[in-house]
């Protein structure tokens, strides 16, 4: 059995990790860390976990984590992980980090987008960007994974076949993305109060959202050239889900059927990527699952490709993807513990 620990277990992503790992046939949860709820059972913080996991949360002790665990998931705020992870890495643990701290190949890019220098830049060369559909072989052979963000997973996987096959002009990429409120985490802020969110949709951080840099990094690697794109996120009045609509000018005349054939071929071996044959992706079809649904349309009138992708920001966009990465790291079938379909209703 894989002995697992979760740092930041009482955030939304941490709670989803507990739920998924508690039902994983190859995992035992050995340690749950929460500074705010130390001494309390996770099922007292989240009653839906009663009889699923009654583990008591505790304060962080790196040596205890090293003794008790084989893998640690760090669901900590951005900036906090880079100060904690070096201690865990030095003790030989395998680490899957849910923050943005180890998603970058270049410390300068991290500093530019996060407004602070990286305190452990030497570990960036050890970390692997945890998108299995692109980096599966590297994930299998690393001890440190930077688990991708939710917006980035949806947008990158939506655009990869077009970029990889040279079907779009890289300079014309525009991403319009929408997220449920859980994407902002469990912390309190006026923008996320019920009365501020319900019956309201709004754009934010136009041109400055940190996930822009992740999308550009991964697409640039695929294209073999620097890609700069426009990314605009929106907050929508639902609990979970990401819907990204992506636009780019086509480099040749192609039909929707031809583009769909490209996507089906590109993702033919990817269980968690579903190319929609009928209808466009919707968030209620993926909520609670590790699937991403994708559709692509050739707009002949404008000469653009339009891609629509949907996923659950807490599952394929966070905790589910982390479990998928853990499975790969330990030589398990990557679908293990992740076969549940979406909730739909």
Strands 174-179 and 242-249: antiparallel
Distance CA 313, CA 310 (A): 9
- Residue 195 appears among annotated catalytic residues: no
DSSP 119-133: S-GGGGGT-EE--HH
Start-to-end CA distance of the chain, whole Å, equals 34
DSSP 36-47: SSTTSBHHHHSG
**Distances 146 to 23, 99, 300, 310, 318 between C-alpha atoms, Å:** 23, 7, 38, 21, 11
Angle at which helix 320-329 crosses helix 12-22, to 10 degrees, equals 50
Query: 57, 69, 150, 197: which one is catalytic?
Result: 150
Distance CA 102, CA 284 (A): 31
Catalytic residues: 150
């Amino acid at each position: 059995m894989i002995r697992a620990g979760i740092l930041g277990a009482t955030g939304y992503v941490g709670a989803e990790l507990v739920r998924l790992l508690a039902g994983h046939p190859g995992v035992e949860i050995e340690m749950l860390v929460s500074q705010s709820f130390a001494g309390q059972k996770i099922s007292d913080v989240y009653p839906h976990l009663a009889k699923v996991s009654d583990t008591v949360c505790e304060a962080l002790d790196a040596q205890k984590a090293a003794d008790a665990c084989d893998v640690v998931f760090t669901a900590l705020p951005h900036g906090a992980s880079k100060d904690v992870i070096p201690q865990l890495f030095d003790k030989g643990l395998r680490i899957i980090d849910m923050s943005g701290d180890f998603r970058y190949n270049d410390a300068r890019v991290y500093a530019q987008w996060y407004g602070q220098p990286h305190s452990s830049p030497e570990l960036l060369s050890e970390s692997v960007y945890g998108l299995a559909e692109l980096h599966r072989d590297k994930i299998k052979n690393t001890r440190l994974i930077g688990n991708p963000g939710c917006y980035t997973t949806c947008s990158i996987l939506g655009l990869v076949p077009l970029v990889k096959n040279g079907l779009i002009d890289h300079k014309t990429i525009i991403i319009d993305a929408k997220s449920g409120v859980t994407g902002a985490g469990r912390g309190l802020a006026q923008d996320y109060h019920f009365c501020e969110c319900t019956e309201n949709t709004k754009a934010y951080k136009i041109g400055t959202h940190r996930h822009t840099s992740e999308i550009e990094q991964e697409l640039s690697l695929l294209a073999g050239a620097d890609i700069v794109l426009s990314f605009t996120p929106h907050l929508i009045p639902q609990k979970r889900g990401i819907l990204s609509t992506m636009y780019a000018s086509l480099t040749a005349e192609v039909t929707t059927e031809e583009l769909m054939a490209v996507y089906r071929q590109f993702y033919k071996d990817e269980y968690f990527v579903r190319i929609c044959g009928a209808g466009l992706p919707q968030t209620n079809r993926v909520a609670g699952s590790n699937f991403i649904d994708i559709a692509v349309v050739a707009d002949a009138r404008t000469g653009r490709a339009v891609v629509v992708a949907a996923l659950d920001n807490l599952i394929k966009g966070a905790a589910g993807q982390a479990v998928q990465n853990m499975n790969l790291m330990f030589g398990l079938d990557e679908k293990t513990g992740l076969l549940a379909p979406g909730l739909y209703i």
